[in-house]
Structure 1
Amino acid sequence: MLGSMALRGLAAGATLLAAVVAAPTPAQAAGGSTLVRTDAGRIQGEVTSEGRQFLGVPYAQPPVGDLRWKAPRPVRPWQGVRQATEFPNRCVQTSSWDPGYEQPSYTEDCLYLNAYVPEGSAAVPDGTAQRPVMVWLHGGGLTAGAGEDVVPDTFARQTGAVVVTVNYRLGAMGFLATDDLDREARDGVSGNYGMLDQQAALRWVRANIGRFGGDPARVTIAGESAGGRSVCTQMASPTARGLYRAGIVQSGAYGDCAARTQRDADTSGAAFARQLGCSDVACLRGKPAQEILQAQGRYDWGPVVGGDFLPLQPFEAFRKGAAARVPVLNGANKDEGTMFAFGQFDANGTPLTAEQYPGVLTSVFGPEQGERALRRYPLSGHPSPTLAYGTAFGDFLMACPALRLGEELKGRGPVYSYEFADRTSPPFASLRNLDTDFPFGATHVNEVQYLFKHFGLRTPLNAEQKVLARRMVQYWGSFIRGGAPRADGQPPMPDQRTQDGLVLSLKTASAGGNTLSGTVHREHRCDLWDSAPTE
């Protein structure tokens, strides 16, 4: 999931005079004030039709100059009142087909978050004094996106939760590892700056969210795609312990959440430095962000295993009991791969042909696995070669890893499994903008618009889909509030500890409604992909 369009709120309800006279107590802030004192200074938010929002709140110092490729530093206090009514800078990234992302961003001063507080007093449906909190980590392949990609103000009101969305460093700025940077790192392992940014944001939440009516002891970290992978990674990180009580992983288990080895990351970093004509990190720190961005495209960017942040690969940590024992809501979409197949072929005006199909499978999955996939995904079973490939790729990349993650997690606490299966769902905003009639089905990212305003836009759902969206919000909301995921009159989302192999299939009424399915593993041919390489 990539970027978003800016959203402006309505007029602010408090005045600067009120800020000067007295800072609000947490209870006053929770009761409706748009003026809040954080641990670094006062901020002025604004009132909207859904509650209150505080946009562009700094949670760390700008990672510029000597702080480029350093762990995030606490934000410096400021005097007076800081306006928090506009989305912040996006972190360095290229342009894309997403609404509002037509131009690249070269801005390194980007470590900000947005907080959405429901309308009304601090009282919440379960009767506690403070609201549960959800911290949303955006998707985008760890190279794109921003906290503003979703606007969760309606979700916050419907669930009674305070919702925080976060920017974090991306691409080379967030994940470069080199020998020089290893020597600078306290634990001797570099390359995890974007993940450390996320933890800095969670520490800001722990210190400040009570001033917004949120409960720092009831924080759920959530994300989709790379945001879900981030949640998977944070659950395996010892340095994230105590910063959250639950996790939501949406389409985030791809590659079994695996991180790069230090050796591979440093080798890649050395090649990246040579490409920029640099032999040391001082030279790299002197390069303009635009040059860094232009050089990063050919490399893989992501977290690095082996240091204090991530001593073990996530799945290994889960197996060994070395990861946080927190409840998890985890799942994927039925047609994950159609978006990727479209982007690779049809979007370029070159639909995959029957003649090309066998070669593509062996190229992507390897000769042996490709031959097996050709037998398991015959062209006769699919409307087109592109859709046949998209089905195989989605099963390999997203659907089966999500099921494997559920298996790995069930021995350490509740893990609730779903599959978003509304194959009539409208393509999300980026794809709608492409003016195509490609049959995406329940593709990657499509469930996000059922929970939030995606890119700040309301999705054109029909009456049945609006019902499904309300029920999905109820499932997610009950989990965030601390219970099992439930919706009125619907089957509970199954816990893999007691309902192993069952998945809640999320569908509209005309497609059979929300049902428990025991055939998802077979439908996605996971017996094939569970034996396939995951990197």
Structure 2
Amino acid sequence: MAALAAILTAAPILALAATVSTDTGRLRGSTANGIAAYEGVPYAAPPLGLLRWREPQPVQRWKGIRDATAFAPACLQLGVSMAGEPDPRTDEDCLYLNVWASAKRPRGQSPVMVFIPGGGYANGATSLPLYWGDRLARRGVVVVTVAYRLGALGYLAHPELTAESPHHSSGNYGLLDQIAALAWVKRNIAAFGGDPGRVTIFGQSAGAMSVSMLMASPLAQGLFQGAIGESGGLFEPLQLAPSYSLSVAERDGVSYAKSVGASSVAELRRLPGAALLHGEAGKVTHPVVEPYALPLSPYDAFVAGKQARVPVLVGWNAEEPRSLTDLGSVRAATFTQDIRKAFGPLPSAMIDAYPHADDAQAVQARTGFERDLRFAWDDWTWARLQARAGPPAYVYRFERRPPFPAGSVRADWGASHFAELWYVFDHLDQETWTWTSADRKLADAMAGYWVDFAKRGDPNGPGRPAWPRFKADDGAILRLNDLIAAGPPPELATLKIFDGVYAQLRGAPFGTAKAP
């Protein structure tokens, strides 16, 4: 980040942390300000050679004490996860996690928060200072951040891969990595002072979509006791995403292989990893509904009552697309055409719900439309399905505009996609921006809400405004800004329009399965 050099020069002198024993060997990390950090901890074997596009395999035991004072390279990718970030080191050997915990380590007592970063399943790195877990760990939790395979290496489906799989499936290798990491946490986190029976998974963007898939996956059942999804979920009708079906994904996988000069999986496995980032990689960089890891989409799993029955906290940001879309090019005259070019032949009822009589109004309309289409409806739906199922749900809307510097690429992003992360991780001081007392108060409150949710399945705690439990009939959410207050989401009317359109696409009312 822009202030990383200043942060590092101002950082306290690190001391070696106590040795920790895991089921594959001993680790030694570093300690600063009473928090021990263990970085670059392997949770699965390197997915190289014949292990490329295979379920993650166990780590081989090592002898002696493994150094855990440096982050491992990020998984292979083309870009960075957020504009303005330095490119991380990358490698196909990337299945590592990081742990932050109290240096005193009260054995097996502290709740655990496992973070799954976003990046469109295509990029991201757990080494980004924004994701460091030291500040949350000071609040009495153990924090784990997890890297998982990205792009074609993480999500390729192909008929040859399906044929060689004992589960008759392919794709979702990144999701299987996340499940392997959670299994590692269950086996080992007590050695770091964590309670393996109180694990909350939390993710942002594609990480939040991954959280929704983990709730739906039979392989992840029992590996976590709470779930947080920030700006993401996978609940829209599959009719809008036919490539998520295994048969279509396999066809796209064959086309992708040809685009990088391979006629078989054997040839793909012989290519250097960097070569796999090109061609039609974008066509295969997404999850797949397949028989093994994700036999039902999250929506269908919730409707069938087959999801993990754990408390949920979800939400979205008021200006999500400001960091994702070139809003300066939005024009009223081409508003509908541009949306259909970007998102496909969506019904007019969805687009017409956003008035766009002139260019200024069109910018606001595009902001609202993309926010609702890509984030708000999914998270609102996640909460409604959760409320019907019984376990608690809590919903937020992040509205605070961080003081992004004038003249920077972020200058006018506002309450955009990922803007809440500085507040959730309580890491305002990693940026030399003009933070105000209101920003610091909000960061303290949000980190407190998230940690208390991990501790008790309820974000409420002393000294903060009450956060009402979400109920499908009243839809009360918590609006996070200078003033923290509960109320209905401002988008409620347009979200209900989406409901009607999606019910028609599914051929069944909301929350019900289509008749066979």
TM tier relative to shorter chain: 0.7 to 0.9
| Structure 1 residues 10 and 84, CA gap change in structure 2 (3 angstroms) | farther
One-letter code aligned to 1:271:
S
Q: For residues 108 and 280 of structure 1, what CA distance do their matches in structure 2 show?
A: 20
Aligned 8 A contact 2:212 2:234 in 1: no
**Equivalent runs, 1:55-454 vs 2, <5 Å:** 55-96=39-80, 98=82, 102-103=86-87, 107-122=91-106, 130-149=109-128, 150-158=131-139, 160-253=140-233, 256=236, 260-342=244-326, 345-346=327-328, 351-364=329-342, 369-370=347-348, 373-374=351-352, 376-379=354-357, 383=360, 385-427=362-404, 435-436=408-409, 439-452=412-425
Q: For residues 77 and 335 of structure 2, what CA distance do their matches in structure 1 show?
A: 33
Structure 2 gaps of 5+ residues are 507-516
Q: For residues 253 and 228 of structure 1, what CA distance do their matches in structure 2 show?
A: 6
SS at match of 1:480: helix
Greater mean deviation of Cα atoms: 294-303 or 226-235: 294-303
| Structure 1 residues 269 and 214, CA gap change in structure 2 (3 angstroms) | same
Aligned 8 A contact 1:57 1:84 in 2: yes
Match of 2:441 in 1: 467
Deviations 1:130-171 (A, max 9, x none): 10001000000111102223112111112x000000110001
Q: For residues 144 and 100 of structure 1, what CA distance do their matches in structure 2 show?
A: 14
Q: For residues 501 and 343 of structure 2, what CA distance do their matches in structure 1 show?
A: 8
Q: For residues 314 and 97 of structure 1, what CA distance do their matches in structure 2 show?
A: 25
Aligned 8 A contact 1:416 1:493 in 2: no
Deviations 1:210-247 (A, max 9, x none): 00000001111110101111000000001101111111
Aligned 8 A contact 2:126 2:145 in 1: yes
| Structure 1 residues 168 and 367, CA gap change in structure 2 (3 angstroms) | closer
In percent, how many aligned pairs have the same letter?
35
TM-score, normalised to structure 2, is 0.88
One-letter code aligned to 1:522:
L
| Structure 1 residues 362 and 69, CA gap change in structure 2 (3 angstroms) | closer
Q: For residues 143 and 403 of structure 1, what CA distance do their matches in structure 2 show?
A: 25
| Structure 1 residues 507 and 530, CA gap change in structure 2 (3 angstroms) | same
One-letter code aligned to 2:464:
Q
| Structure 1 residues 87 and 115, CA gap change in structure 2 (3 angstroms) | same
Match of 1:27 in 2: none
Report deviation, 1:196: 0.6
One-letter code aligned to 2:132:
V
TM-score, normalised to structure 1, is 0.85
| Structure 1 residues 459 and 237, CA gap change in structure 2 (3 angstroms) | farther
Deviations 1:439-476 (A, max 9, x none): 32311111111022669934733111110111111111
Q: For residues 378 and 305 of structure 2, what CA distance do their matches in structure 1 show?
A: 19
Report deviation, 1:495: 1.8
Aligned 8 A contact 1:50 1:154 in 2: no
Greater mean deviation of Cα atoms: 233-242 or 49-58: 49-58
Aligned 8 A contact 1:135 1:222 in 2: yes
Pick one of 20, 27, 42 that aligns with 1:43: 27
SS at match of 1:132: strand
Q: For residues 179 and 144 of structure 2, what CA distance do their matches in structure 1 show?
A: 13
Aligned 8 A contact 1:52 1:116 in 2: yes
Q: For residues 117 and 418 of structure 1, what CA distance do their matches in structure 2 show?
A: 28
| Structure 1 residues 257 and 367, CA gap change in structure 2 (3 angstroms) | closer
SS at match of 1:274: helix
Match of 1:30 in 2: none
Structure 1 gaps of 5+ residues are 15-32, 124-128
| Structure 1 residues 284 and 483, CA gap change in structure 2 (3 angstroms) | closer
Aligned 8 A contact 1:253 1:405 in 2: yes
| Structure 1 residues 483 and 277, CA gap change in structure 2 (3 angstroms) | closer
Aligned 8 A contact 2:81 2:125 in 1: no
Deviations 1:395-434 (A, max 9, x none): 111112211111111122333333333343234xxxx597
| Structure 1 residues 426 and 368, CA gap change in structure 2 (3 angstroms) | same
Report deviation, 1:13: 3.9
Report deviation, 1:320: 0.9
| Structure 1 residues 433 and 306, CA gap change in structure 2 (3 angstroms) | farther
Report deviation, 1:58: 0.5
Aligned 8 A contact 2:316 2:398 in 1: no
One-letter code aligned to 2:420:
E
Q: For residues 398 and 143 of structure 1, what CA distance do their matches in structure 2 show?
A: 18
One-letter code aligned to 2:30:
E
SS at match of 2:186: helix
Match of 2:510 in 1: none
Aligned 8 A contact 1:51 1:118 in 2: yes
One-letter code aligned to 1:462:
T
One-letter code aligned to 1:142:
Y
Q: How many residues were matched structurally?
A: 494
| Structure 1 residues 237 and 254, CA gap change in structure 2 (3 angstroms) | closer
Q: For residues 142 and 320 of structure 2, what CA distance do their matches in structure 1 show?
A: 29
One-letter code aligned to 2:337:
G
Greater mean deviation of Cα atoms: 248-257 or 235-244: 248-257
Q: For residues 372 and 250 of structure 1, what CA distance do their matches in structure 2 show?
A: 23
Match of 1:529 in 2: 498
Q: For residues 473 and 97 of structure 1, what CA distance do their matches in structure 2 show?
A: 22
Q: For residues 433 and 117 of structure 1, what CA distance do their matches in structure 2 show?
A: 36
One-letter code aligned to 2:335:
Y
Pick one of 464, 469, 481 that aligns with 2:455: 481
Report deviation, 1:340: 2.1
| Structure 1 residues 440 and 293, CA gap change in structure 2 (3 angstroms) | same
| Structure 1 residues 100 and 64, CA gap change in structure 2 (3 angstroms) | farther
Aligned 8 A contact 2:383 2:395 in 1: no
Report deviation, 1:316: 0.6
| Structure 1 residues 65 and 236, CA gap change in structure 2 (3 angstroms) | same
